[in-house]
Structure 1
Amino acid sequence: MTDAPKNSASPPRPAPLPAATGGIDAPPALVIRGLAKRFGGKIAVNGIDLDVPSGSFYGLVGPNGAGKTTSLSMATGLLRPDYGSVWVHGVNVWDHQLQAKKLMGILPDGVRLFDRLSGEQLVTYAGLLRGMDRETVAERVKDLLAVLDLAKDAGTLVVDYSAGMTKKIALASALIHAPRLLVLDEPFESVDPISAANIRDILQGYVSSGGTVIVSSHVMDLVQRMCDHVAVIAGGNVLAAGTVDDVRGAMSLEDKFVELVGGRNQTEGLTWLRTS
């Protein structure tokens, strides 16, 4: 393989999104063209193209090491790509980083937080950092902590939160400024079933009101039930992308994923594991 990944040319810049979002003719919420990243001799992302429609609930699935997190990190301005371009609602992420990041709420994988703040202080700080006035921030913090079942732990330091609580307080920080695009890497990991259901309701309501969600997850059933679009990534390449129904066809999403990605191991050799 050559050093320059495929599709490294940048496309014409998409037109800016109109003030009223979510319409049938609205430009994509996210446009990726020729996005590529290499770490030493390993190509992590191999010049991928992706269009995420405005108002969609978009799932990103793939095996460990597929390039999902690296792709999302580059798409949201957290990791500079070697090649390619990204636009969020018509704004070039790497040419206009501040303007693009104002449009996004991000929950990265392995998120590092200011964990010596209380949960309430952390979400308040996130709102103030976005330039919001204190009264609005206070109202939204109260609402978010209540709906995410964190109100009783508002004064607890984040360092003392469980893994699931930490995930939820990070989500609250991503939601505080009501972004137009939410990018969530494994948002349900370590989250209990009741909280997961509440989060799904929040995200579904957000999409219904015109927002766009991109969620990376290993749980195929969750993606199939929750998302209307999906992309399958493996080996740094997009193997399939489109509506969930178009990608899976007559199969379940999990079966289609296994067919596309391959690598299913045979277990006939484990004769010693039989109990009778």
Structure 2
Amino acid sequence: MTAVDGLDLHIRQGELYALLGPNGAGKTTTLRMVVGLEAPDSGRIEVCGIDALAEPLAAKARIAWLPDDPLLYDKLTPMEYLAFVAGLWAVPGAVARARAEALVVQLGLEEKRDARCEGLSRGQRQKVALAGALIHEPELLILDEPLTGLDAAAARTVKDMLRARTRAGGTVILTTHILEVAERLADRIGIIRAGRLIAEGTPQALAADGETLEDVFLALAT
């Protein structure tokens, strides 16, 4: 069975792109190929002008990947975890500390900054993982269901942070099953089914003629 079949996507710099589809449509497989965790059988993947198949390390240096169930090191505190991740990306110590402090404040983790990750709630763990994805200020941020486990206030904070990144010239690709999030947040939306792109456009263009994005999605993807 082919998970992704002739999929052709072009994401623009400074854009927030939502990739939508039913379970099993190929969304996560697509993202895993972009970040280099799975290899395509054929085709080309370009990240920030770099051939990601020919120069995987150079491409990965420009990417941050946040899966739907991110791995944290339970015995580390959020601040220790962020220092560890920053070290992997060779972020200078003083810069890493300043960024970590700012991210902890932005994400409302001040009270948990020195608590071990094993004792954090799912939403708090999700925020720590997001901070880790942002610590090296990637050009391309890829998120698979980033709002999972977040309460309304935390979700609003994350959405504001993602829009701030695109305003600053960064690029964000995300998947979500919450169609309202895609409709309000994304510059463009792609809908895939059985590994193929079946619709693409701005939320306004897709939901034309008085239809909602939910109407369009259900008609096309189910």
What TM-score bracket applies, with the shorter chain setting the length? Answer: over 0.9
2:216 is aligned, of 250, 256, 268, to 256
* d(CA) in 1 for partners of 2:203, 2:189: 6
* d(CA) in 1 for partners of 2:92, 2:58: 19
Confirm or deny: 8 A CA contact 2:68 2:148 kept in the other structure.
no
Confirm or deny: 8 A CA contact 1:55 1:207 kept in the other structure.
yes
Gap regions ≥5 residues in structure 2: none
Partner of 1:74: 33
Deviates most, 102-111 or 224-233: 102-111
Q: CA deviation at 1:116?
A: 2.0
Partner of 1:265: none
Q: CA deviation at 1:247?
A: 2.3
* d(CA) in 1 for partners of 2:170, 2:11: 12
**AA aligned opposite 1:198:** T
> Relative to total residues, which structure has the larger helix share, 1 or 2?
2
Please show how residues 34-73 of structure 1 align to structure 2 within 5 Å: 42-73=1-32
1:162 is aligned, of 121, 133, 140, to 121
**AA aligned opposite 1:155:** D
Partner of 2:149: 190
* d(CA) in 2 for partners of 1:74, 1:80: 6
Q: CA deviation at 1:248?
A: 2.5
> Relative to total residues, which structure has the larger strand share, 1 or 2?
1
**AA aligned opposite 1:128:** G
**AA aligned opposite 2:216:** K
1:230 is aligned, of 165, 185, 189, to 189
Please show how residues 98-109 of structure 1 align to structure 2 within 5 Å: 98-109=57-68
**AA aligned opposite 1:130:** W
1:143 is aligned, of 78, 84, 102, to 102
* d(CA) in 1 for partners of 2:220, 2:185: 21
**AA aligned opposite 1:256:** V
Identity %: 36
With normalisation by structure 2, the TM-score equals: 0.96
Q: CA deviation at 1:111?
A: 1.8
**Structure with more contact order per residue of length (Cα contacts < 8 Å, sep ≥ 6):** 2
With normalisation by structure 1, the TM-score equals: 0.78
Partner of 1:209: 168
Gap regions ≥5 residues in structure 1: 1-41, 263-276
**Alignment partner of 1:95 is 2:62:** no
Confirm or deny: 8 A CA contact 1:229 1:244 kept in the other structure.
yes
Helix, strand or coil: the match of 2:14?
Answer: coil
Confirm or deny: 8 A CA contact 2:16 2:166 kept in the other structure.
yes
* d(CA) in 1 for partners of 2:52, 2:212: 35
* d(CA) in 2 for partners of 1:94, 1:72: 14
Q: Which structure has the greater CA radius of gyration? A: 1
Task: Give the aligned CA root-mean-square deviation in angstroms.
Answer: 1.1
Kindly provide the CA deviation profile for residues 179-212 of structure 1, in whole angstroms up to 9, marking residues without a partner as x.
1111011000111110111111111111111111
Please show how residues 175-186 of structure 1 align to structure 2 within 5 Å: 175-186=134-145
State how many pairs are aligned: 221
Partner of 2:130: 171
Q: CA deviation at 1:106?
A: 1.2
Deviates most, 165-174 or 246-255: 246-255
Please show how residues 16-27 of structure 1 align to structure 2 within 5 Å: none
